[in-house]
Amino acid sequence: MNAAQLVEGTPLEAGSPFDMRINLGKDVPETDVRSALQHGDVGFLHSFTTGSCVDGPGVRLVAWTTSCMFRCRFCHNPDTWTLSNGMPVAIGRAVDELRKYANGLKVMNGGLTISGGEPLMQKPFTTKLFAAAKQLGIHTALQSNGFYGAKLTDEELRDIDLVILDMKAFTPAQHDRVTGIRDNKPVIEFCERLAALKRPMWLRYVLVPALTDFDEEMRAIARFGAALGVVERVEVLPFHQMGRYKWERLNIPYDLEMTEPPSREAVSHAVEIFRSAGLDCP
Ligand code: SF4
């Protein structure tokens, strides 16, 4: 199969990122994969979803990329960890999709969000799609774990109107516990660089009972976020089990099987921690 071809019978759009999609790019030759990663003429996407009101301001078209370097224990979309689970989509096809919704997105004060997976695992494709969106006058948001933020040049950052940074933890020990990667310095440094460049950010924090609901971690993130001076909003996302079936079907050991969503009180408590640092946390 040519890397630019869509996978027969699989629509580019999904009802939701919680749809399970695997092996859509498994037949793409290795040389085409390498070329795609180097040049960004083709991206590997779980899907596009339309009409999202939770992935940035207004109503969003969201491109869900595949491949991620983290292994978050609470990940809702482990099918996006592997590049070859994504559908190969030529950049021109992705831009056509964007153009289709351009007017509607503008009217609804929304835009394009590129999420994942981790979009910066496919940085050339991600930045090409953002550049095309800016040419169409569309607001752009990158939803990222921030680990590869240093790969973005200042010029590429100018095409990104908003960075929605998923903060997994503040201390290296907790970062390791949550993601399997101890070194979170690149994430911290990316945030500091965005602050120095005065680029707007949102922070997101997934609240998981007995895994991330630690006051000290949240206070440290809140203090750090407030000091950046560019964080417009913090979103506390209550853990849920909508992705559990994916872990089971992918045969990946899932140790949050018995974990319940946090209580309303626990969510309010977390929100209060961010608010008391002076951050806007709806
Ligand atoms: S960074 Fe996102 S996609 Fe990657 S493992 Fe964590 S939650 Fe999943």
Q: What is the mean pLDDT of each run of 10 residues along the chain (282 residues)?
A: 53 78 90 94 94 95 97 96 95 95 96 97 98 98 98 98 98 98 97 98 98 98 98 98 94 96 98 98 96
**Can you give the pLDDT at residue 6?**
53
Distance 103 CA to ligand 1 centre (A): 31
- For residues 74 and 128, the answer to whether their CB atoms sit within 8 Å is no
**Strands 201-207 vs 60-65: parallel, antiparallel or unpaired:** unpaired
**Which residues lie across from 162 on neighbouring strands?**
141
Distance 242 CA to ligand 1 centre (A): 14
Length of the chain: 282
Residue among 60, 61, 27, 56 at smallest CA distance from 44: 27
**Full-prediction pTM beyond 0.85?**
yes
Q: How many CB atoms lie within 10 A of CB 109?
A: 10
**Can you give the pLDDT at residue 137?**
97
Distance 74 CA to ligand 1 centre (A): 8
- For residues 65 and 150, the answer to whether their CB atoms sit within 8 Å is no
**Can you give the pLDDT at residue 8?**
57
Distance 119 CA to ligand 1 centre (A): 11
**Can you give the pLDDT at residue 2?**
47
Ligand 1, atom nearest to 68 Cα: 4
**Can you give the pLDDT at residue 1?**
45
Rounded to whole angstroms, how far apart are CA atoms 258 and 254? Answer: 10
Q: What sign has the CA pseudo-torsion 232, 47, 123, 71?
A: positive
Rounded to whole angstroms, how far apart are CA atoms 246 and 184? Answer: 27
Ligand 1 pocket test, pick from 68, 212, 254 with the greatest ligand atom count within 8 Å of Cβ, gives 68
Rounded to whole angstroms, how far apart are CA atoms 74 and 238? Answer: 11
Take residue 132 and report the two structure tokens written for it: 């095309």
**Can you give the pLDDT at residue 79?**
94
